[in-house]
Every structure is written in structure tokens, then in C-alpha cells.
């Protein structure tokens, strides 16, 4: 081929690469743009050729981001320089911080095929197709839409999962509260009769102490009847001994009654704990959006047990005071009998 023809052929080849127009065998440099895109990235190579046959330009690179917020696409603008070698081109990519990378390629009509080094040292062939900045922007817009759609779907899925987790937690809380309520109501059913039974024992204990004290009072009257100017102090001493026995019976009855009071307070405390647990279980169940499986019976049972524990507790306090009064009266009666015995001995 003649030198002039070779120059003309070279001009046509460069025009294919750099988007130059050849008019009358002269070359007018103009930028050419080649686009490459895949599912996660878009790259646009923009090249211009000067009169000396050297290339300069840039690579616009856009990639999807993995972050959950912020800009959905990361972009980068790299500087490109290069030259041609026959039908091939060599491009040097400036990556910043003094780093660079060399790409070799071949233009073929509307396609620019480049051998691009990868991190493992291998070369991978990437094809860039003739396009423009509008095509790049449109492709980047698609990436943004895809990332935003993915974020929206992920957010919707997270919200759905959070709702499901909340519902599951609520159901679990409801089941636990119902179980706690069932346990507390069962305890009330077991412990309430015991507390009520203690009230009857209290009445019997107080009455027993009163009966014993009545005998002691009778014995004191016998002692009083045996006193006087001509009283037999020995016989009186025997009657005082009987009075002491009756006083001892009162003390025993009071002691037994005090034991019943202690047992009653224990039974009331147990029932009170049952009531507290049942109230808490019912409150938790209602807070979790549930209703007791027992219906209104649960509320009535709790209210009834609350009344019982208050009534029995009051009865225990009253019995305790009555027993203490009887104990004091018993000491006073025995003291009167002892005084009469001492007085008889002094007269004798």
C-alpha cells in the first residue's frame, strides 16, 4: 500500500476509535464514547485523539453499593491516556496515588474490546459499545432504580419480619400470661379452703381459752368463799392449787390459740400471694391483647379470694388480741387467789 493510502487507512481506523470525521483526508478530533454495563456496574470510556495520534480522556465508572442507605451508586472518574499500535490501542488508566493500570484493546466498528487486568492477575476481555453520555446516565439511573427497589423490598421484608416477630412475641406473652393465671387460680382453689378453715380453728381456739378462763374464775370464787375469819388455810391452799391448775389450763389454751393464729397468718399469706399472682397474670394477659379462658369467672375468683384473705387476716388479728386479753385476765385472777392465800397465812 502506498504511503498516502496507509495514512488514509489509519485516518479511517482512528475515526472508528475516536469518533473523528475525515474530510478530504484531514482529521478533526472529536470525543468518542464506549459503554460497558452488567448487572452491577456501568463504565463509559471517553477518548479524544490529538494531531500527534495520542489519546486522552476519562473513564466514568458507576457501581451499585451494598449499603442500606446513602447514595445507591458509587461513581468514579478516572483519567485515561494512550496511543495506537497499528490496529490496536494501549490505554493507561490513572487510578490516583501514583497508581496506574494498562489496558490493551482493539476497536472494531462500534465496539472497543479491551483486555482488563483483574486482581488475581488474569486478563478478562470486556466489550465496550459505541454510546454517549446520555446512555451512561440512563444506565446509571437503572442501577439506582434497582438498588432503591432492592432497598424498598428489604425494608418491606424487615418490616414484615418485625411485625411477625412482634405478633409471635405477643402470642407467646399471651400464652405465658394465661399459664401463669391458670397456675394462680389453681393455687387459689387449693389454698382458699385452708384459709377459711383456719378461721373456724381461730374461733374454736378462742372459745377454748374462754372456757378455761371461765373455770379459773369459778375456782377463784371457790377460793373467795373459803376465806373469812375462821378460814382453814390448809384447805384454802388446796383450793388455790386447783386455781393454779385452771390458770395453767388457760395458759395452755392461749398458747394453742397463738399457734393457730400463726398458722392462720401463714395460710393468709399464701392465699395473698396466690391473689397477687392471679392479678398479675390477668393484667399481663389483658395487656397482651388476650382474655382469660375462664371468662368472668377468673375475675370473680380473684375478687372472692381477695375478700377471704382480708376477712381471715382480720379474724386472726382479732383472735390474737382476744387471746392476749384472756392471758392478762388469767394472770390477774390467779394473782387474786394467791393474795387471799397469803392473807390467810398471815392471819394464822
Which residue's C-alpha cell is 391483647? 289
SS3 for 291?
A: coil
Q: Assess if residue 248 is contained within a domain.
A: yes
Q: Say yes or no: 234 and 294 in one domain.
A: yes
Helix-strand-coil percent breakdown of the chain, rounded to 5?
60, 25, 15
For the purposes of burial, counting CB atoms within 10 Å of the CB of 107, is it exposed (0-12), middle (13-18) or buried (19 or more)?
A: buried
Q: Say yes or no: 100 and 197 in one domain.
A: no
Q: Assess if residue 125 is contained within a domain.
A: yes
Helices then strands, each counted (H, E), the chain: 4, 10
212 phi, psi to nearest 5 deg? -65, -40
Q: Say yes or no: 232 and 118 in one domain.
A: no
> What is the domain range of residue 90?
3-131
61 vs 73: CA distance, rounded Å: 10
264 vs 197: CA distance, rounded Å: 9
pLDDT at 13: 32
What's the total number of domains in the chain? 2
Q: Are 257 and 237 in contact (CB under 8 A)?
A: no
Q: Assess if residue 106 is contained within a domain.
A: yes
Q: Are 73 and 64 in contact (CB under 8 A)?
A: yes
SS3 for 111?
A: strand
Q: Assess if residue 160 is contained within a domain.
A: no
Q: Say yes or no: 124 and 180 in one domain.
A: no
DSSP state letter for 100: E
Q: Say yes or no: 64 and 179 in one domain.
A: no
| Residue 111: CATH number of its domain | 2.40.128
17 phi, psi to nearest 5 deg? -80, -50
Q: Say yes or no: 107 and 179 in one domain.
A: no
Q: Assess if residue 213 is contained within a domain.
A: yes
100 vs 78: CA distance, rounded Å: 10
Q: Say yes or no: 200 and 326 in one domain.
A: yes
If residue 7 lies in a helix (H) or strand (E), which one and from where to where? Answer: helix 3-18
Q: Which domain-ending residue is among 116, 131, 146?
A: 131
Q: Assess if residue 158 is contained within a domain.
A: no
| Residue 243: CATH number of its domain | 1.20.58
Q: Are 46 and 31 in contact (CB under 8 A)?
A: yes
Q: Which domain-ending residue is among 100, 131, 162?
A: 131
Mark residue 33 as left, alpha or beta (left: phi above 0; alpha: psi -120 to 50; beta: remaining).
Answer: beta
pLDDT in tens, the chain (348 residues): 323 222 222 233 333 333 332 222 334 445 789 999 999 999 999 989 888 778 899 999 999 988 888 888 999 999 999 988 878 889 999 876 677 888 998 888 889 999 988 888 899 999 999 999 999 999 999 999 999 999 999 999 999 999 999 999 999 999 999 999 999 999 999 999 999 999 999 999 999 999 999 999 999 998 888 887 777 888 888 888 998 999 999 999 999 999 999 999 999 999 999 999 999 999 999 999 999 998 999 999 999 999 999 999 999 999 999 999 999 999 999 999 888 888 887 775
Angle subtended at Cα 255 by Cα 337 and Cα 320, rounded to the nearest 5 degrees: 100
Q: Assess if residue 255 is contained within a domain.
A: yes
Burial 38-59 (b: 16+ CB within 10 A, else e): eeebbbbbbbbbeeeeebebbb
pLDDT at 1: 31
Q: Say yes or no: 182 and 314 in one domain.
A: yes
190 vs 9: CA distance, rounded Å: 107
Q: Assess if residue 334 is contained within a domain.
A: yes
Q: Global pTM?
A: 0.61
Q: Say yes or no: 75 and 195 in one domain.
A: no
Q: Say yes or no: 85 and 212 in one domain.
A: no
Q: Say yes or no: 322 and 193 in one domain.
A: yes
Q: Which domain-ending residue is among 131, 162, 193?
A: 131
Amino acid at each position: 500500500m502506498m504511503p498516502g493510502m496507509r495514512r488514509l487507512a489509519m485516518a479511517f481506523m482512528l475515526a472508528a476509535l475516536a469518533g473523528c470525521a475525515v474530510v478530504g483526508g484531514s482529521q478533526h478530533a472529536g470525543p468518542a464514547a464506549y459503554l460497558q454495563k452488567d448487572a452491577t456496574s456501568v463504565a463509559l470510556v471517553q477518548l479524544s485523539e490529538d494531531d500527534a495520534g495520542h489519546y486522552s480522556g476519562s473513564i466514568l465508572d458507576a457501581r451499585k453499593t451494598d449499603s442500606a442507605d446513602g447514595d445507591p451508586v458509587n461513581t468514579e472518574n478516572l483519567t485515561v491516556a494512550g496511543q495506537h499500535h497499528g490496529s490496536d490501542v494501549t490505554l493507561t488508566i490513572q487510578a490516583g496515588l501514583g497508581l496506574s493500570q494498562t489496558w490493551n484493546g482493539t476497536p472494531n466498528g462500534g465496539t472497543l474490546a479491551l483486555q482488563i487486568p483483574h486482581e488475581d492477575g488474569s486478563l478478562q476481555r470486556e466489550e465496550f459499545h459505541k454510546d454517549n453520555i446520555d446512555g451512561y446516565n440512563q444506565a446509571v439511573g437503572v442501577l439506582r432504580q434497582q438498588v432503591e427497589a432492592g432497598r424498598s423490598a428489604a425494608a418491606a421484608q424487615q418490616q414484615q419480619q418485625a411485625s411477625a416477630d412482634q405478633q409471635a412475641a405477643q402470642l407467646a406473652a399471651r400464652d405465658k400470661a394465661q399459664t401463669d393465671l391458670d397456675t394462680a387460680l389453681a393455687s387459689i382453689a387449693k389454698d382458699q379452703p385452708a384459709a377459711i378453715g383456719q378461721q373456724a380453728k381461730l374461733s374454736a381456739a378462742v372459745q377454748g381459752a374462754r372456757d378455761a378462763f371461765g373455770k379459773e374464775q369459778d375456782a377463784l370464787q371457790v377460793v373467795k368463799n373459803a376465806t373469812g375469819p375462821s378460814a382453814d388455810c390448809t384447805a384454802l391452799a388446796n383450793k388455790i392449787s386447783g386455781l393454779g391448775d385452771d390458770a395453767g389450763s388457760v395458759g395452755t389454751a392461749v398458747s394453742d390459740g397463738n399457734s393457730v393464729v400463726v398458722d392462720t397468718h401463714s395460710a393468709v399469706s399464701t392465699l395473698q400471694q396466690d391473689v397477687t399472682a392471679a392479678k398479675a397474670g390477668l393484667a399481663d394477659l389483658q395487656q397482651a391483647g388476650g382474655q382469660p379462658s375462664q371468662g368472668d369467672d377468673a375475675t370473680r375468683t380473684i375478687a372472692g379470694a381477695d375478700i377471704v384473705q382480708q376477712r381471715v387476716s382480720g379474724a386472726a388479728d382479732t383472735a390474737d388480741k382476744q387471746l392476749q386479753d384472756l392471758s392478762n385476765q388469767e394472770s390477774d385472777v390467779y394473782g387474786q387467789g394467791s393474795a387471799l392465800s397469803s392473807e390467810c397465812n398471815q392471819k394464822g
